[in-house]
Each structure stands twice: as C-alpha cells, then as structure tokens.
Amino acid sequence: MAVFSHPDDDITLYETGFEEDLFGRRVVGERLSEVVRRFNDPLVIALDGRWGTGKSVFLKKWVGEHKKAPHDETITVYFDAFANDYLADPLVALTSALLERYAVQSSQLQPSKVEKLKAAGEKIFRYSKPLAKIALSVASAGVTTQIEGLTKVAVEAAEGEVSGAIDSIWTREENRKTAMSEFRQALEDCTKDREPSDPSAEDITKRRLVFVVDELDRCRPDFALEVLEVIKHFFSVSNVHFVLGVNLTALENSVKARYGEGIDATAYLQKFLSFKMSLPSKGEGQDFPTTLVYLMTIGQKMGLHRNILEELRTQLRIVSQNNHVSIRDVSKILSLSALLPIEAQENTRVDGYRKTAISLLISKVVAPEIYQKLVSVSLTQAELERYLGVTSQLIDRDPTKDNPLYNNELHSLFNMWLFLLSDGETPWQPQSEGEAGQFGNHPSRAQFDFRARQFKEIPATLDQTWLGVFEYTT
C-alpha cells in the first residue's frame, strides 16, 4: 500500500543520536565533537548549507550523540532561532533555554552557580535595553520559574514600578559594562570546578557548554543579527561554544537588509564566526549522493512503484549534475510522484509518457521556469542543454571512438525532449548507419512508443491529466 507523505524523522531531542544514519554523517558528527572538546577558547562554528540539505536533522541528532561519549559532561542546548524570532530580545530566549537545560541535565552543578547566573542575567537586562521591550519578550516567551526573577524585573518595568534611580543607573556606560562582565563570569563559573565522575579520566576539569542555534537564516533580519551580537558580547567566555545551523548566503542578505547593499556582508559575518563547515554531498562509505540515497530509501518506504523509482533515480542523477537538488526537493518530488495515476506507474507500454511526466514533475520542483517552458514547448535547445548539462562529449556515441564520458541515459532524455519540443521534426544526425537503421526516421517515436499525432501536445496533456489534477501545496 502506497503512502502520500514520506515518514518523518523520529527524533527525540537530546536522546536520539546517529543510531539510524541514513546519510552516513556520523563521522562528521564525531569530527565536530572532537573540535568542541579540544578547545577551551570560545568557538562560533557555522554549519553552512542551503535550505533543505538536512542541517536540522543532523544538528538534532548531534546534540543527542555528543553527550553519549564516556566521561563527557557537556551541556548541550538546542535553540530553534526561527521558532523564537517573534520575541523582542534574543538574550531572554537564549538565557531561558540555558537555564532550562541546566535544570534538566546538570545534576552536579551547584545551585548557587545557577542562582548567580540568574541574578547576573537580571542585572544585564536592567542595564542593556529598554525594559518595556524586555517585558514584552518575557511575556511572549511564557518563561518558567527558571527565570522568574527576570520576569519580575520586566513586569515591574512595564508597569512603571521601577524607580527613577534604576533608569539613571541603566544609562551609565560603566554599569552596563559591569553587568556584562558579571554575566560572563557567572557563565564561566558554571563550566568549571566540577567534581570528576571518573578520577582516572584526563582533561575533565571543565564542563563545556555548547549551544546549537538552528534556523538562524530563516529569522527576521534584525533578530538574526541580534542573536550574533548577543553571542559575541554576552556568551564569549571560555568553554562556551556555539554551532549555528545557517545558510550563510541568506544571512548575508539579512546583513544587507539591515545595513544596505553597500556593506561587505561576508566581512561583517566573519567577525562573528570562528570558522565554517558543511555537510558532504555523499555520506561516509556511500557511493551515491545523499539525495539519491534518500530517494530510494524513502521511496521504497512509501511504496512507490519500481517503474517510478527507477525513472526518478535516472533523471535526478542527470538533473542534479547541473542544478541544485536538496533533500527537501526530493521529498516534494516523492509526494508528487505518489499522486501519479496507476496507469503511469504500472503500464509498461507508456514508458515514453512516464519518462516525460517524470521530467515535468522534477522540473516543477527544481526549476519552475524550465517546467513552464517544457509544458508550453517553448524551451530552446540551448536552454535544454544548460538544464540537462549536455555537452558534445557526453552524448557522442561514435562507435569508432572510445568515449568513456558518454552518458546513454542523458543522450536518451535529451533526444526525447528535442523530439517533443520540435513536434517530431528535429533533424536526427546518427553517428552510424546502424543507428539510423535501428530507429528509423524518428528514433524517439520508436524508442518511447509515442502514439500521438501532435507530439508537441504531449507535455501539456500529461501535465493536465497526470500531474495537474492534484496540486502539492506543502
């Protein structure tokens, strides 16, 4: 029985690790863990990648996997920046998330240190921003008793109950700097002087704190950049590291939105980051890109017909060579494929029509402008070549020459679309008489069993009857 949506990743935050490692990314996680354990000075690491490449799944699994190592007492805090960007102040949200994790994970942390951190946070809120803004942030956050002292300060400010003396103190630069220093000191105290769980273990005199801040590039530009500024000014202390799940190109656009197109956005972001990393396109020990691994694994779980899956794999391998195809794109393509009628899936006599429909379906997700031109048969040969990544070497099938680069699947797909776009009139220049004898005057018609009289109508007809009945909206 087929299903429409692909199974969601079953992840329990802080518990699930890389037990199921579909994309072979455990090794990348181990390298990241090694780095944050080795260095005491504060690191800000950007896990850079386009949307839909699996960064969030990787990071959620990593925060669970990292703390499983023997003798490791790292406090890991996962913070979804996009889910919190409605708040007025990221410092409130980050501090709240930290104190919640200390309450849950750190059984050995002295309560006095947590209280000191809470008190320092309260003071920093008093001296750093207009308290009415903080009050809105705290009220919106629905914070717990972990920061009830902070809530009290904010509410008092909002009701006008804080004395004028507090306002005058808040405006003094020296008090603001003092408050920041106390907060950093309290944070550093929470990462040191712990009792080792194993006296024989080495280098366990520090309890490291690692924040994973995910979806930063999807936030409002002002909130995203404030998060970076808060990290730099308030959390830059020894043994406190940040891993940011981010699309740096999108974040650079946030910088330009805030400061104007003239700013060097790359240089601006570099002052906040220690270094960046990315997820590999192929997992450890895997021969195929993660997108194709995902396609076949999830497609089989969804119960998609073998004919559909094989055609999807063939064409995605071609299209992804010259176009960005994300895991999220593949997810949409799988769901659209599940909507194809039974005739398109099981009937072996419609191979050409199925091949055409899959092309339309893939381009609809990956390159909508190409999809529109394929349906309206207005795509030029040059545009088709660029989309499919066609070069003369890749489609040169001269039997008298050895051509290890020849790609039969690409050649077949390219020829089929040339045939359809020209209504069966594309000149065919065979490399040998044998080819001409095998396929006749119209190789695509014979090869793909197109029965239509008006070949140019095939894409629009399939789009309307096979693809257009239902519209995938998520």
Strand order of the β-sheet with 275-277 is 75-80, 209-214, 240-246, 44-48, 275-277
Phi, psi (deg, nearest 5) at residue 242: -125, 135
User: Residue written as tokens 């065979």?
Assistant: 430
Q: What is the mean pLDDT of residues 282-293?
A: 86
Q: What is the mean pLDDT of residues 307-332?
A: 95
Among 156-160, 225-229, 261-265, where is mean pLDDT lowest?
A: 156-160
Alpha-carbon span 289 to 291, nearest angstrom: 5
Helices (H), 320-392: 327-338, 342-346, 351-366, 368-375, 381-388
Among 15-29, 114-128, 146-160, 389-403, where is mean pLDDT lowest?
A: 146-160
Q: Is residue 219 left, alpha or beta, with left meaning phi > 0 and alpha meaning psi from -120 to 50?
A: beta
Question: In the structure, what pLDDT confidence band is assigned to residue 284 with cuts at 50, 70 and 90?
Answer: confident
pLDDT at 311: 96
CATH topology of domain 26-109+190-277: Rossmann fold (3.40.50)
Q: Taking a C-beta distance cutoff of 8 angstroms, is the pair 86, 140 a contact?
A: yes
Return the domain boundaries, the chain. 26-109+190-277, 290-467
Q: Is residue 440 left, alpha or beta, with left meaning phi > 0 and alpha meaning psi from -120 to 50?
A: left
Q: Taking a C-beta distance cutoff of 8 angstroms, is the pair 316, 367 a contact?
A: no
pLDDT in tens, 32-56: 999 999 999 999 999 999 988 999 9
Would you tell me how many other CB atoms lie within 10 Å of the CB of residue 159?
A: 10
pLDDT in tens, 117-139: 888 877 777 665 554 444 444 44
pLDDT at 113: 82
pLDDT in tens, 350-408: 888 999 999 999 999 999 999 999 999 999 999 999 999 999 889 888 777 888 999 99
Output the CA–CA distances (angstroms, integers) from residue 370 to 130, 421, 424, in the order listed.
Answer: 51, 13, 20
Alpha-carbon span 73 to 67, nearest angstrom: 7
pLDDT of 161 over the 80 cut: no
Q: Taking a C-beta distance cutoff of 8 angstroms, is the pair 231, 44 a contact?
A: yes
pLDDT of 244 over the 50 cut: yes
Q: What is the mean pLDDT of residues 219-227?
A: 91
pLDDT in tens, 422-458: 888 765 444 443 343 333 344 555 566 677 668 899 9
Q: Taking a C-beta distance cutoff of 8 angstroms, is the pair 215, 245 a contact?
A: yes
Among 17-26, 93-102, 260-269, where is mean pLDDT lowest?
A: 93-102
Would you tell me how many other CB atoms lie within 10 Å of the CB of residue 381?
A: 14
pLDDT at 67: 80
Burial of residue 366 (CB within 10 Å: 0-12, 13-18, 19+) is: buried
197, two tokens: 């769980």
